[in-house]
Amino acid sequence: MANWQWFHKWGSPRWFYQFSGRLLPWLAIPALLLLVGGCVWGLAFVPADFKQGNSFRIIYIHVPAAAVAMGGYMLMATAAAVHLIWRMKLAAIVMKSAAPIGAALTFLALLTGAVWGKPTWGTWWVWDARITSVLILFFLYLGLIALHQAFENRDAAARACAVLAIVGAVNIPVIYWSVEWWYSLHQPASIKFVGESTIHPTMLRPLMATLSGMYLFFGWVLLLFVRAEIIEREKNTRWVQALVSGK
C-alpha cells in the first residue's frame, strides 16, 4: 500500500513542483561541469584520430545529442503509456514537455552528423538506414508537437499524442540496430555495455563525460519545462496563486 501511495505522489502536480525545485541545482551544476569539461578535454587534449584526424572530435557533441534524443523519446513513450493506463496528469505534462527538447537534440544530432560526414564520407548527407531513421525520429517529435497544438481539448490532445508516442517507439531499436541490420556508412557502436568497447580509453573518457552531462542537461531542462507547464495548468488553484503572490 505504501508503494502505491508513493507512486501516486508522482501524479500530484503540486507535490512534483515542490520536489523538483530541490533537484534543479543538482542537475544543472554537474551538467554544466561535465559538458564543458568533457568538450574541452576532448577538443584540446585528446590526440587526433589516426584515420579521421581532428574531424572526429565532433563526436563529443554528436554522440551525446543522438543518444539523449533516443533516450528522451523512450522516456516520452513511457510517460505516454503511464498516462493512458493510469490517467496521470503529470505523465501527460512530461510527454508534452519532452517533445521540443527531444526535437532540438535530434536536430543537433542531424546537423553535427552532416558536418562530420562531409570530411569523413565526402558528402553532407546520404540516405543510409541510420540517418534516415534519425530523421524519422525528428519528424516524430515535430509531429507530436503539432498534434498537441491541433487539439483544443487538452485531454484529447494528450490521448492522441500518447498513442503516436507509443507507436513511434518502434523506431528507437531501428535506429540502434540499423548499422547491424543493413549496409550503412555508419560504423557499429563503439561503446558496448556487453563486451569490450572499440573506442580508445583516451577518447572514451571525455565522451562519457559529455554523454553523462547531456543526460543531466536533458533532465534539468525537462524539469524546467514541466514546472512551467504545471504553473500554466494549475494557475487557477490556490497553491499556485499563493506561490505567485509570495504568500
Task: Report if residue 15 sits inside a domain.
Answer: no
| Residue 187, pLDDT above cutoff 80 | no
Task: Report if residue 22 sits inside a domain.
Answer: no
Task: Report if residue 107 sits inside a domain.
Answer: yes
Question: Could you report the per-residue pLDDT of 124-134, keeping only the tens digit for each?
Answer: 888 988 999 99
| Residue 63, pLDDT above cutoff 70 | yes
What is residue 62's predicted lDDT score, i.e. its pLDDT? 95
Q: Do 123 and 108 meet the contact criterion of CB atoms below 8 Å apart? A: no
pTM: 0.93
Task: Report if residue 45 sits inside a domain.
Answer: no
* Residue 66: domain span: 59-245
> What is the distance of C-alpha 225 from the center of its chain?
13
Number of domains observed in the structure of the chain: 1
Query: 155 falls in which pLDDT band (50, 70, 90)?
Result: very high
> Rounded to an integer, what distance in angstroms lies between the CA atom of residue 15 and that of residue 203?
42
Query: 16 falls in which pLDDT band (50, 70, 90)?
Result: very high
Task: Report if residue 47 sits inside a domain.
Answer: no
Task: Report if residue 201 sits inside a domain.
Answer: yes
Cell numbers given for 39: 568538450
> Rounded to an integer, what distance in angstroms lies between the CA atom of residue 126 and that of residue 80?
32
Concatenate the DSSP letters of all residues of 163-184 into one string: HHHHHHTTHHHHHHHHHHHS--
The lowest-confidence range among 92-96, 158-162, 201-205, 210-214 is 201-205
Task: Report if residue 17 sits inside a domain.
Answer: no
Share of the chain above pLDDT 70, in %: 90
Question: Which distant-in-sequence residues (6+ apart) come within 8 Å of 195 by Cβ?
Answer: none
What is residue 51's predicted lDDT score, i.e. its pLDDT? 77
The lowest-confidence range among 47-51, 64-68, 175-179, 228-232 is 47-51
Task: Report if residue 187 sits inside a domain.
Answer: yes
What is residue 191's predicted lDDT score, i.e. its pLDDT? 63
What is residue 189's predicted lDDT score, i.e. its pLDDT? 63
